[in-house]
Structure 1
């Protein structure tokens, strides 16, 4: 067994997106190669509804999958395929943009909004797959007990015998590792996987390194990731592993393709009204 080590740490910066949602952008254009295939990670954590109730009105996507983990609060999804779904307190929204979709994510007032959104790149061969949406209720997410009140929530992929949702495109194992003070866990990961972690709540020890809250880390080669809680409060660390693509990235706002020509074509189609390739399903 070879323990992975921390190669990069990224602390996000405060910004606004959508109609004025205040968030922390942790991963983006500048980290796309290092964290391949995860393009973006936005973190939400607020007890002030004014930070987020403006939401993300209808907008396009192509060439990616968006994965929203709403640990606290609610997110209401609507899209051009006719899907309408509300996810609350521990649920996941998984959207495959593929060939093109329009969607909105509105966020009603809550005591606290806490969660993250990932953008997972699609391989060149799958950029134009049919778009799809899956709303995953908290009650449908497997939980694996680690002893005491510590546990692993399997947001996607598999953990031991537990099976969560899995996209038809890139493989993704996505865990919410929740540890009580003094607890630790060693998680096996494939040696061929690109692996990262994000400290959603509290400071954690990741592969021996002390990682501050709301920090993303990229992990070097190996087949084990150890996460420890040496503090006095419960911690939550999100652990993600997938397959590195090593493909060119042409990124323009909500659209991610492989060439500038493909990107230009997508925006021309938006202007011409020919962007959407799939009709309403419901």
Structure 2
């Protein structure tokens, strides 16, 4: 059954970190509609003043953060001792779990184009061991034919699997480049939450209509088993993102997302008394 479009969202201009200008496509007020995804921030700027202030040291707990760059560079470091850079065509997929403190510092470039997505963790995974990983371009599975190029960060496309696999949220993250006069088809479980995010060009996400949308647009789908996207005279680039709904209570306090207000109070207290970062022994 072909999925129908539930709604289109254009997002809102916003600032975060130390003053980074971005477009928040969805967030706190959209929780029920995007479960298990919490937030999507879009970066698309040719002006370094929009992003150079960066995101200084800050904590996360209870979520996974996915930072994916089409163009640009972001230096980063964290409380696990990791440091490095995310560059064009690369991704950092970080499971904050029980707690991590990190910083993200965009570097000057001709174009900063990318997203950060927050993926919720199931209740019994929120205090799990943090996991950190950079996905260089060679680690991201790519499918290509005459009509499309599909970068598979998570999930599966055309019998090829991406490097990120999760059992409970079962995420799919595809970066699709579609040529003009082309069609993209994708099958997925009816119960999963699915949305597309058009970042370049024009595309039609309702094949039975003549409605073509322009970037930046979030396309939120209703239930169904098949997605169809087509282009006309203009090529398009979009992300297709899906996941298994958790249907659990959400208590959201800034960069920390738990299941109850009490858990947020505990996290705040631990940040104050320097016990937020858990040892190996505490996590066993």
TM-score bracket for this pair, using the shorter chain length: over 0.9
Does residue 216 of structure 1 match 2:214?
no
Does residue 30 of structure 1 match 2:32?
no
Q: What displacement does 1:170 show? A: 2.4
CA–CA separation in structure 1 for the residues paired with 2:171 and 2:84: 23
Counterpart of 1:152 in structure 2 is 150
Q: What displacement does 1:139 show? A: 2.1
Counterpart of 2:238 in structure 1 is 237
CA–CA separation in structure 2 for the residues paired with 1:146 and 1:247: 40
CA–CA separation in structure 2 for the residues paired with 1:104 and 1:137: 19
Q: What displacement does 1:206 show? A: 1.1
Distance 1:199 1:112, change over 3 A: same
Q: What displacement does 1:265 show? A: 0.9
Alignment of 1:124-163 (within 5 A): 124-148=123-147, 150-163=148-161
What is the root-mean-square deviation in Å for CA atoms of aligned residues? 1.3
Counterpart of 1:5 in structure 2 is 4
- Structure 1: segments with no counterpart, 5+ residues: none
**Structure 1 length normalisation: TM-score?**
0.94
Q: Spell out, residue by residue over 1:154-173, the C-alpha distance to the aligned partner (whole angstroms, 9 max, x if none).
A: 01121122111224452111
Distance 1:278 1:203, change over 3 A: farther
CA–CA separation in structure 1 for the residues paired with 2:64 and 2:102: 12
CA–CA separation in structure 2 for the residues paired with 1:258 and 1:170: 16
Q: Spell out, residue by residue over 1:232-267, the C-alpha distance to the aligned partner (whole angstroms, 9 max, x if none).
A: 2x3111001110011111001000001111111111
Counterpart of 1:259 in structure 2 is 260
CA–CA separation in structure 1 for the residues paired with 2:37 and 2:69: 18
Distance 1:13 1:134, change over 3 A: same
Q: What displacement does 1:32 show? A: 1.1
Please tell me whether the aligned partners of residues 146 and 152 of structure 1 are also in contact (alpha carbons under 8 angstroms): no
Following TM superposition, the consecutive aligned residue runs of length 4 or more in structure 1 with deviations greater than 3 angstroms are: none
SS in 2 for 1:31: helix
Which is further off, 205-214 or 113-122? 205-214
- Structure 2: segments with no counterpart, 5+ residues: none
Q: What displacement does 1:216 show? A: 1.2
Which is further off, 239-248 or 188-197? 188-197
CA–CA separation in structure 2 for the residues paired with 1:14 and 1:51: 12
Please tell me whether the aligned partners of residues 3 and 207 of structure 1 are also in contact (alpha carbons under 8 angstroms): no
CA–CA separation in structure 2 for the residues paired with 1:263 and 1:130: 18
CA–CA separation in structure 2 for the residues paired with 1:28 and 1:242: 16
Which is further off, 200-209 or 57-66? 200-209
**Structure 2 length normalisation: TM-score?**
0.94
Counterpart of 2:272 in structure 1 is 271
CA–CA separation in structure 1 for the residues paired with 2:205 and 2:83: 38
Q: What displacement does 1:18 show? A: 0.7
CA–CA separation in structure 2 for the residues paired with 1:77 and 1:55: 10
